[in-house]
A and B are shown apart, each in its own frame.
Chain A
Amino acid sequence: MTMPIKITPPLTDADAAKLKAGDKVLITGVLYTARDAAHKRLFELIEKGEKLPFDVKGQLIYYVGPTPPKPGQVIGSAGPTTSGRMDAYTPRLLELGLKGTIGKGQRSAEVVEAMRKHKAVYLAAVGGAAALIAKTIKKAEIVAYEDLGPEAIRRLEVVDFPAIVVNDIYGNDLCKMGVEKYKRDG
């Protein structure tokens, strides 16, 4: 296996261009969290032409709803949720300069096309590896929508957060490539 590529958001077009489907990455720096309910609110702000609670330009959004931290913990368990549920919202965010999303599972054709157009990537973290992933999160603070509980938007500071490039800016898709390689007849 190849060595992981280290990345630190915000990412530029050139940073995104270096990532290919199948690459392993280690992210150090800031990630913003948002899932279903937060996306709905962000989308409503965009529709009204209002300012978002954080500038998405160059940033990565991590689709996660963590468990509550125990006393002394930064965050509870924090693995990725299914990305496909955010497909309806993602192209608009990419248009505004979001450089990538992190979740699990496959994305729609519209999102894959939008990623190609706006030079953004989709990364996956290992679904269900929530206790392991939480160890890479060093700081967590709520940025917006505290009333949403686990669905609030958080700003995370991570060190060597492990992820895999699923969709790159060239239209490659690790899910399709992988299945093609390993499927058997019968």
Chain B
Amino acid sequence: MRKISTSEITFKVKELCIRAACELGSDVAFALKEMRGKEESPLGKEILDQIIENAQIALKEDAPMCQDTGIAVFFVEVGRDAAIDGSLDDAINEGVRQGYNEGYLRKSVCHPLTRKNTSDNTPAIIHTKIVDGDKVKITIAPKGAGSENMSRLAMLKPSQGLQGIKDFVINTVKEAGGNPCPPIIVGIGIGGNFEKSAILAKETLLRNVGSANPDKDLNALEKDLLDKINNLGIGPMGFGGRTTALAVHIKTAPCHIASLPVAVNIQCHAARHKEMII
């Protein structure tokens, strides 16, 4: 067994929180520039220029690219030969507490009914998986509510099939319009059950923008949906244009013979995720 201290996890999580808020991934930055070149709407071009410039300022000045520094979502892979000397969840939450305070990030977590702010952005949402090895891999994906609020889940009938899935995705993006800060990335989870489809949709947002889906059929479906979404004309910020989505990502899992769950998790252009291996 390899010993891993909770204090190291806390320290690393603190760093991840701050870096994720200020450093846009190079994949998204590249995709934004590429789409800027293809955008037809003059206003759309100007908006994309502002988004690109904003990301550069954020990086240079260590400033959060978006004021909504999100609810902190973690995907953690714990090697079965890693021995953590305490509570993993507590260590992560302490890292969030420190990161959001010391990084001057916004505390956006509140009680669902009283709406009282917890004031330290905890609790984080933590998905943990046991894997082979003796390492701990921590991925943070802070998620703002503008795009999260536009996400939808449907329990389709198997008879609705592929067409039903496509219609649901397109309608979800159409209804979202300018609210989730397009250009967006569309994460789609197909199959599993109610909660599994949602987690798949969120996980698939972690994939690099511009990367191909290893499954040939899913890759073709992603391209088809991306074309259809960009033909909606929603455009940057919803004011019309070619650039509605930068990418569509799909993940699937087997499901019940009576079910066809589909989850659409919409991600804004501030697609933040960072990972670290201890």
A131 proximity list for chain B (CB < 8 A): 54, 57-58, 61, 63-65
Asked if A84 contacts B63 (CB within 8 A), the reply is no
> CA of A67 to CA of B64 in the docked complex: distance in angstroms?
8
Asked if B107 contacts A150 (CB within 8 A), the reply is yes
Known: A128-B65, A182-B242. A68 touches B181 (CB 8 A): no
Known: A67-B69, A84-B179. A22 touches B43 (CB 8 A): yes
> CA of A98 to CA of B6 in the docked complex: distance in angstroms?
52
> CA of A135 to CA of B55 in the docked complex: distance in angstroms?
14
> CA of A19 to CA of B146 in the docked complex: distance in angstroms?
27
Asked if A1 contacts B66 (CB within 8 A), the reply is no
> CA of A186 to CA of B227 in the docked complex: distance in angstroms?
8
> CA of A178 to CA of B43 in the docked complex: distance in angstroms?
10
B76: interface (CB < 8 Å): no
A64: interface (CB < 8 Å): yes
Q: Which residue of B lies closest to A83 (CB)?
A: B179
> What's the minimum C-beta distance from A172 to chain B, rounded to whole angstroms?
12
Known: A1-B42, A104-B179, A129-B54. A68 touches B240 (CB 8 A): no
A66 proximity list for chain B (CB < 8 A): 67, 106
> What's the minimum C-beta distance from A103 to chain B, rounded to whole angstroms?
10
The count of chain B contact residues (Cβ–Cβ below 8 Å) is 52
A26: interface (CB < 8 Å): no
Asked if A178 contacts B149 (CB within 8 A), the reply is no
A126: interface (CB < 8 Å): yes
B232: interface (CB < 8 Å): yes
Known: A175-B239, A177-B240. A184 touches B64 (CB 8 A): no
B40: interface (CB < 8 Å): yes
Of B44-52, B133-141, B254-262, which binds chain A? B44-52
B226: interface (CB < 8 Å): no
The count of chain A contact residues (Cβ–Cβ below 8 Å) is 50
> CA of A181 to CA of B46 in the docked complex: distance in angstroms?
17
Q: Which residue of A lies closest to B174 (CB)?
A: A179
> CA of A27 to CA of B115 in the docked complex: distance in angstroms?
32
> What's the minimum C-beta distance from A102 to chain B, rounded to whole angstroms?
13
Q: Which residue of A lies closest to B228 (CB)?
A: A186
B171: interface (CB < 8 Å): no
B234: interface (CB < 8 Å): yes
Known: A105-B177, A178-B241. A82 touches B146 (CB 8 A): yes
Q: Mark A63-83, 1 if CB is under 8 A from B, else 0.
A: 011111110000011110110
Asked if B234 contacts A179 (CB within 8 A), the reply is yes
B5: interface (CB < 8 Å): no
A148 proximity list for chain B (CB < 8 A): 117
> CA of A67 to CA of B68 in the docked complex: distance in angstroms?
8
In the complex, chain A residues 139-171 whose Cβ is within 8 Å of any chain B Cβ: 148-151, 162, 164, 166
> What's the minimum C-beta distance from B77 to chain A, rounded to whole angstroms?
29
Q: Mark A54-69, 1 if CB is under 8 A from B, else 0.
A: 0000000000111111
> CA of A54 to CA of B40 in the docked complex: distance in angstroms?
42
Pick 21 A–B contacts, CB within 8 A, sort by A: A22-B239, A68-B104, A68-B106, A76-B63, A76-B64, A77-B64, A82-B179, A104-B146, A105-B180, A106-B178, A124-B239, A126-B47, A131-B58, A175-B178, A177-B240, A178-B239, A179-B177, A179-B238, A183-B233, A184-B233, A186-B228
Residues on B lying within 8 angstroms of A by beta carbon are 40-43, 46-47, 50-51, 53-54, 57-58, 61, 63-69, 104-108, 115, 117, 119, 145-146, 149, 177-181, 227-228, 231-235, 237-242, 268-270
- Nearest 9 pairs between A and B by C-beta? A178-B240, A183-B233, A182-B233, A105-B179, A127-B181, A129-B54, A131-B63, A132-B54, A178-B239
